[in-house]
Amino acid sequence: MNYLWNIKGKFYKKLSDEDTWIHIGEGLIKIIAILVISRIIIGVSKALIKKFFLVRSKSPLRISERREATLLKLLENVITYAVYFISLVMILDACGIEVKALLAGAGIVGLAVGFGAQSLVKDIISGFFIILEDQFSVGDYIRLGNFEGEVLEIGLRTTKVKTSTGELHVVPNGGISEVTNLSILNSVAVVDVSIPYDGNVGLAEKVINDLLEGMPEKHEDLIKAPELLGIQSLNPTEIVLRIVAETSPMRHWNMARILRKEIRASLDEHGIESPVPRMVMVNRNEGE
C-alpha cells in the first residue's frame, strides 16, 4: 500500500513540476513544426515534379500521357514516403525514444537484402530510369546488342523485344548497356540504281530527277523530295547512281522498294535499260 502511495506521490509531483510541462510543450512544438515542414517539403517537391513534366512535354521526345501520369504518381509517392519516414524518425527522437538502434537494425537488414539481390535491384533501378528517361516505349523499333525488333513490353525488371523473324527476347533491364531507338527520328532510305556503262548518264539523271520531284505528292511517308546524289561507283559493265530519301521513322525500307520500282519503270520508258553482263570472245586464229 505504501508503495502505491509513493508512486502516486511521484506522479503528482512530476505533473506539478514546471519543467515537465515545459519539456512537453517543447516536444509538441517540435512535432507540430516537423509536420508543418514535412507538408511544405512534400508540396514544393510535387510542384517541382509537375513543373519538370510540363517542361518535358514541350520537348520533341515527349512521352505518352499514360506513362507521364504513371511516372508523376510514382515520383510523388516516393517523395511522400521518404519525407514521412524521416519525419517519423524525428518525431520519435523528439519524444525521447531512442531511434539509433532502430536505424542500425534497419540498415543491417537493408544491407543483407542488397547483397542477396544485387542483380534484382540493378534491374529495377535500370528499368525505372528507362521509363523515366523515356529511352524507348512500347511499339518502338530498337536495336539491343546483336538483335533488333519491336518493343512489346517494358517492366521494371525486364524488357520484351520481338524481332522481325518472330523471336521473342526477354532482356533484363540491368543488362541493357546501350540501346539504339530507330522510331524517334526520321529515317533515310538509300537506293542505288544501275545503268549500262555506255548509257546516257545525263538523260538518266534528268529522268530520275523529274520523277523524284513529284514523289512527295504521291507518298505521305516522304518528308521531302528524294535527292539524286550522283554517280556512286563505276564498274566494268554498269554505272551506279545513288538516291537518298528522308522518310517517316521506320518507313525507309518500304520507300526504298517503291523508289526502286518507280525509277526502274521510268528509266525503261525512256529506253535506258538495265545493265547486263557481256562476254567478249576472241579467236586467236584470226590473226594468223
Q: Which one, of 158, 34, 157, lies nearest residue 91 by Cα?
A: 34
Q: How many domains does the chain have?
A: 3
Q: Which one, of 184, 185, 177, lies nearest residue 146 by Cα?
A: 177
Based on the domain organization, do 15 and 104 belong to the same domain?
A: yes
Q: How many residues does the chain have?
A: 288
Q: What is the dihedral of CA 83, 89, 92, 93, to 10 degrees?
A: -120
CB 179 within 8 A of CB 161: no
Q: Residue 131: its pLDDT value, please?
A: 75
User: In this structure, is residue 176 part of a structural domain?
Assistant: yes
Q: pLDDT band for position 237 (50/70/90)?
A: confident
Give the mean pLDDT of 146-169: 85
The β-bridge partners of 256 are: none
Neighbours of 131 (CB within 10 A): 20
At residue 19, does pLDDT exceed 70?
no
Based on the domain organization, do 67 and 172 belong to the same domain?
A: no
Q: Note the pLDDT tens digit of each residue in 28-74.
A: 888 888 888 888 998 888 888 888 777 766 655 555 665 666 567 66
Q: pLDDT band for position 109 (50/70/90)?
A: low
Per-residue cell: 38 = 514535412
- Could you list the residue range(s) of the whole structural domain that residue 43 is in? 2-116
User: In this structure, is residue 112 part of a structural domain?
Assistant: yes
Q: Note the pLDDT tens digit of each residue in 160-173.
A: 899 888 889 988 88
Q: Residue 257: its pLDDT value, please?
A: 93
Query: Which CATH number belongs to the domain containing residue 155 in this structure?
Result: 2.30.30.60
Based on the domain organization, do 18 and 101 belong to the same domain?
A: yes
Based on the domain organization, do 231 and 143 belong to the same domain?
A: no
Q: 122 versus 61: which is more confidently predicted?
A: 122
Based on the domain organization, do 174 and 230 belong to the same domain?
A: no
Q: Residue 12: its pLDDT value, please?
A: 58
- Amino acid, single-letter form, for residue 81: Y
User: In this structure, is residue 10 part of a structural domain?
Assistant: yes
Q: Note the pLDDT tens digit of each residue in 190-225.
A: 999 988 887 888 888 899 998 988 888 888 888 888
